[in-house]
Amino acid sequence: MPKDHSFYGIPFPADFLIGADGVIRAKYFLPDYQTRVASSKILLDQFDVAGAKSAWIEADDLRVTITPTTDHSVAGQEIGVMVNLSLAPGWHIYGQPLPSNYTATSIEFDSDLVVQQSFEYPTPEKVTFEMLGETLPVYHGDFRAKGTVLIRSGLKPGEYQLKGKLKFQECSTEVCKIPQTAVFELPMRIEAMTPAAPK
């Protein structure tokens, strides 16, 4: 910014992951100076490390663990989430894109703590179901999804619950169960921002 601009001197943070050979392996840029990427989110992206307490969901033939990269944050920080899903043999759940009469697998955090979120799922397998006359995107066996959530700005320091919902529909080649929604919550401590260094 030019010196006469009102935003002159305001930093826009970036993180670089540099290998031992000096080559930049990853870069993280965020849209404004108030938002920060947690180092634990970078560990999830690059090394599949997520070390906070997990939420466990067991629903019929589906087992799910949802693990954020940290159990503490400051308001306005971006953290990662790792989701491991495991289906019993013979069962599948759906990916995207999907006709409206089926329920795709999705995870959504409540907006009281989270202002923005996104998840990356593996590419589903396209399977033709001859009895239905349809080819649909499905997941079966064990697979993993990764996500990012942006903690809401302006939250006061204290203990909170990071709440969310998992939506899915279990099917086999012979039967489809009704769509299900499983709720979960994880402890999250919002910490005070570090005060600015004295001038």
Domain contains 80:
yes
User: What does the pLDDT read at residue 38?
Assistant: 65
| DSSP H helical ranges for the chain | 39-47
40 touches 80 (CB < 8 A): yes
Per the document, the length of the chain is: 199
User: What does the pLDDT read at residue 49?
Assistant: 65
59 touches 180 (CB < 8 A): yes
Domain contains 114:
yes
Domain contains 9:
no
- Give, in degrees to the nearest 5, the angle at Cα 65 between 145 and 50: 70
Domain contains 34:
no
Domain contains 69:
yes
Tens of pLDDT along the chain (199 residues) come to: 778 888 787 777 788 888 889 998 888 776 666 666 666 677 767 777 666 788 999 988 999 999 998 888 888 888 889 999 999 999 999 999 988 889 999 999 999 999 999 999 999 999 888 877 889 999 999 999 999 899 998 899 999 999 999 999 999 888 889 999 999 999 999 998 765 556 6
Total domains, the chain? 1
User: What does the pLDDT read at residue 85?
Assistant: 96
User: What does the pLDDT read at residue 40?
Assistant: 66
User: What does the pLDDT read at residue 151?
Assistant: 92
Residue 178: which domain range?
52-191
130 touches 157 (CB < 8 A): no
Domain contains 19:
no
**CATH number of the domain residue 122 falls in:** 2.60.40.1250
Domain contains 43:
no
For residue 46, what is the enclosing H or E element? helix 39-47
User: What does the pLDDT read at residue 12?
Assistant: 73
How far is it, in rounded angstroms, from Cα 151 to Cα 78?
6
User: What does the pLDDT read at residue 175?
Assistant: 84
Domain contains 136:
yes
